[in-house]
Structure 1
Amino acid sequence: MSAVTEKETVACLEATLYKRKPFNVDKTEANTGKVKAWGLGVLRNYFFYQFCLNKLLRKNSPRPLSIYLMICFFRLDTSSTNTAKLVNAMVEQSKVMGLPASVVNAVLRQYMLNQEKFRIKARGVESIQYNMRPELLGRLKSHHQCWREIVRFMQEPSAVCLAVCQHNVSVEDMIFQLQEAEVAFSQEGPAIVLERFGHIRQLPGYEKGWFTVLSEANQQIEALLPDARPQAILDACAAPGGKSVMLRSRYGFKPRVVAADNDSLRLTRLQENNARLGLKLEIVEADSAVYDYQEPFDLIWADVPCSATGVIAKHPEIAIQERDDLQNQMQQRQMLENLWAQLSSGGHLVYSTCSVLPEENEQQVAWLLSQQQDASVVTMPQQGWIKGQHGCYLTSEHSRDVVYIAVLAKH
């Protein structure tokens, strides 16, 4: 009997829950889908499952045991088969994994008996109700009147969205090839939304650079980029290359595009995507908070490091892990100040994040305006139900993410 899938899920969750790593699954493994589904299921119900474990399991129990039991809870919650039979199978798997089968058996049977009672007792505990650590939930409450909508929006699973690289293939041809390959999808505005997630590399046109993975909310940014035709563009935090795809789509191949990043692993992905997608980027390893590019740019896009609180639907661990959500504030300001000095007069700076926190968004834009007398904010259309003082928030019912964008003009 094998317990490979369970062991992989436990290992991924242990790294996420106790070592504060992103929840990542090795996409080369055959059981990727199951590991990802089980892991995300645990993370999206983490505080309730912890509440149950506190009632059913001794304190200081081994981590693998606690994690395995949470995986079992999720499987029981979502099972369409005979739950008693499933419990027996999970108890047998625990033996293969070297876990105490008698404890697993007792806890799972008590969970089935008491689950509804536990849910009643947990009502009113906001961290359980919204599956979010109290500090982050408090920030959302203090800044957004629609905080409940934001949290609930993030609790739904996100769909994978594709952006068509129209310099390589037409949207019509891309759709035709997907239909020929019997890929289930829908077209939502500029995005192709996959109804079932498989191996991206197996989709038609991958090697030919017909598409890249890019959330629907991010794809909306292209329509908000400045109308002016720049000659020199800096993509200041470029990896893995989605923003450069939009820049090429918006402005074509006449302008030079310098693409920078300071993370060597992310740069490798950028180089791979540059070659696959045919973006013709000038790639530079640089920290845009301090780097002098030795030339002025007509357009600079700074998609700055942030708390990533806008992508909790995709990465629910962000709502769980204890962390400083504002740890990037100083770096964001340093990047804004440094890049503003390298923006030519009459040019535009695009500032964006995948954060829902005003401290990283409109408050940073307001800070730059207070520092630079030659700066003004381009009026943006307020979209959706999240409002900002400067710029705007973009959302997507399919990718379930929130992105912030502001465009500043230099006079």
Structure 2
Amino acid sequence: MTLNIRALAAKCCYAVIDQGRSLNDELPKQQDKLIGKDKGLLQEICYGVLRYLPELENDVRGLMQKPLTGKQRVFHFLLLVGVYQIKYMRIPDHAAVSETVAATKVLKNNHMKALVNAVLRNFVRARDESAEQVETQQPDPIKFNHPGWFIKKLQAGYPEQWQNILTANQQRPPMWLRVNAQHHTSESYQALLAQADIDIAAIDPLSQAITLTKAIDVNKLPGFEQGWVSIQDAAAQQAARLLDCQPGDNVLDCCAAPGGKTCHILEQTPDIKAMTAIDIEASRLTRVEDNLARLNLSAQVIAADAAKTDWWSGELFDRILLDAPCSGTGVIRRHPDIKWLRKASDIDNLVLLQQQILANIWSLLKPGGTLLYATCSVLPQENAEQIKQFVAQTADAKLVSISEPQASAENIGWQILPDEKNMDGFYYAKLVKTH
């Protein structure tokens, strides 16, 4: 079978936007058909189309008499693939057009060849004018390439910073490393990177996370297979530090998949009494098991609903990490499909679910114990407002100040905004059970 990367990209984007599939699920299926650099090219195109979707759709709309629907719908995404290449990639215009036109044959509709060819050639001719329009005349969803409901929520929550957040979401994410303290200090691992000619961009002074100047294949990292290092954003690496587990602690990681924070806690405090990691999706726990195995760590891994206690042994926990189900709006730069898979109506439902889980899990915490609430969201509703309400309604819950320079004026937790110190958007609140 003839493979055409543009055809695969169109199928992938169609599955995400029109069928509501996750890019994390769809992209590997298509990449498995390719080898070498072609995998990276497919990823670049898919991520790009999803980053700039409203802008690209606006470009195409202006060149079409009527939208493509039904069985022709995948060709709508093929046009977006073509326009993205012309606008944002270093592929010569003629090559981008010819490869995209060739995809019509692979997608088994030669009748669309003339239309795709005409639209893309017309776009090349009109490109300069359309670029100027996007900058000056377009409404916010097209100008910023985000859904309108999300822009409004950001404007309400961050009247001074909303544009910076939207701009940060459009950037390519950095590659952060977490050094396994069981094998190396941050300094000794930095020396190994230098020996391997891998350039370091920065070190996070709080967590000792290391960011590289450019992303590389994980297998090129010294000792990756031996468990010396893992890939994890610096914002996510704050969890183990803030939870501050002690020797002999009984620890619960709630909503644990894919297991990065579970492993980090075990790396930092190998002499805890026990680690239990739960997640509602049994299929996602495979990743937790894989990560534990590579790092030679052990935990009790259970498929369980954190809003219930039917899985619980009855022994209270000293430390609980609740990485709550959330909108994911802090990690859009890593997962641009979040913008289009998430709906405004989801937020209220997520807030309710967070409340239920928080109340349930609190009952499993020992008096004097610590619960760290975490989300990868930037929406105050899921974060500071959620915790403020919980503390007000829970007599034995005391908020512990997280004295970071980035802490909010009200000091209700720590909101990290996307691209702040090159980190993902994240929120933490630390609670102690007083009696």
State the TM-score, normalized to the length of structure 1. Answer: 0.91
Q: Determine if the alignment matches structure 1 residue 353 to structure 2 residue 375.
A: yes
Given that 1:7 and 1:97 are in contact with CA atoms closer than 8 Å, whether structure 2 keeps it comes out as yes
Aligned residue in 1 for 2:359: 337
Equivalent in the alignment of 1:305 = 325
1:16 aligns with 16
Q: For the Cα contact (< 8 Å) 1:348–1:409, is it kept in 2?
A: yes
Residue in 1 that maps onto 2:154: 140
Aligned counterpart, 2:266: 248
Q: Distance in 2 between matches of 1:111 and 1:253?
A: 62
Which one is further off, 2-11 or 41-50? 2-11
1:60 aligned partner: 68
Aligned mates of 2:61, 2:200 — CA distance in 1: 42
Q: Quick check: 1:94 aligned with 2:114?
A: no
TM-score (norm 2): 0.87
Q: 2:186: which partner in 1?
A: 171
Secondary structure, in 3 states, of the residue corresponding to 2:426?
strand
Superimposed CA distance per residue, residues 120-165 of structure 1 (whole angstroms, 9 cap, x where no aligned partner)? 4442410011111111111111111211111111111112222111
Query: CA shift at 1:299, angstroms?
Result: 0.7
Secondary structure of 2:322's counterpart equals: strand
Structure 1 residue aligned with 2:427: 404
Matching residue within 88, 107, 127 for 2:119:
107
1:237-294 Cα deviation digits (max 9, x unpaired): 2122111233224433233211111211111111111121122212222211112521
User: Among 14, 36, 46, which residue is 2:43 paired with?
Assistant: 36
Matched, 1:276 2:294: yes
Q: What are structure 2's unaligned runs of at least 5 residues?
A: none
Match of 1:69 in 2: 79
- Cα 1:83–1:7, aligned 2, differ >3 Å: closer, same or farther? closer
Pair 1:154-2:162 in alignment: no
Partners of 2:95 and 2:68 lie apart in 1 by: 29
String of CA shifts for 1:275-332, please: whole Å, max 9, x gaps. Answer: 2112221222221111252111111110010010111111112223352331222221
SS at match of 2:361: helix
CA distance in 1, matches of 2:168, 2:19: 27
Maintained 8 Å contact 1:311/1:400: no
Number of residue-to-residue matches in the alignment: 411
Return the letter of the residue paired with 1:32: K
Which amino acid in the other structure matches residue 299 of structure 2?
L
Tell me which residue corresponds to 1:6: 6
Distance 1:9 1:398 in 2: 32
Whole-angstrom CA distance in 2 between matches of 1:404 and 1:344: 24
**Is the contact made by 2:327 and 2:342 (CA closer than 8 Å) also made in structure 1?**
no
Q: Percent same amino acid among aligned pairs?
A: 28
Q: Does 1:48 align with 2:55?
A: yes
Secondary structure of 1:148's counterpart equals: helix
DSSP-derived class of the 2:430 partner:
strand
Structure 2 distance, partners of 1:96, 1:205, is: 41
2:143 equivalent among 126, 129, 149: 129
**8 Å contact kept, 1:9–1:38:** yes
**How much does 1:381 deviate?**
2.5
Higher RCO structure, 1 or 2 (CA under 8 Å, sep 6+): 1
Q: Distance in 1 between matches of 2:274 and 2:309?
A: 18
1:173, distance to aligned residue in structure 2 (A): 4.6
Tell me the distance in 1 between the aligned counterparts of 2:252 and 2:113.
58
8 Å CA contact 2:239–2:261 kept in 1: the answer is: no
Q: CA contact under 8 A between 2:387 and 2:412: conserved in structure 1?
A: yes
Find 1:363's aligned residue among 381, 385, 397: 385
TM-aligned CA deviation for residue 37 of structure 1? 0.4
SS at match of 1:408: strand
> Alpha-carbon deviations, 1:49-81, whole Å to 9, x = none?
111121112323412211111111111113445
AA at the equivalent of 2:104: S
Q: Tell me the CA shift for residue 182 of structure 1.
A: 4.1
| Secondary structure of the structure 2 residue equivalent to 1:309 | coil
More deviation, 62-71/181-190 = 181-190
- Whether contact under 8 Å (1:41, 1:74) holds in the other structure is yes
Q: Does 2:94 align with 1:84?
A: yes
- Greater shift, 92-101 or 71-80, is seen at 92-101
Looking at structure 2, the residues matched to 121 and 172 of structure 1 have their Cα atoms a distance apart, in angstroms, of: 49
Q: Label 1:128 to 1:314 Cα distance change in 2 as closer, same or farther (>3 A).
A: same
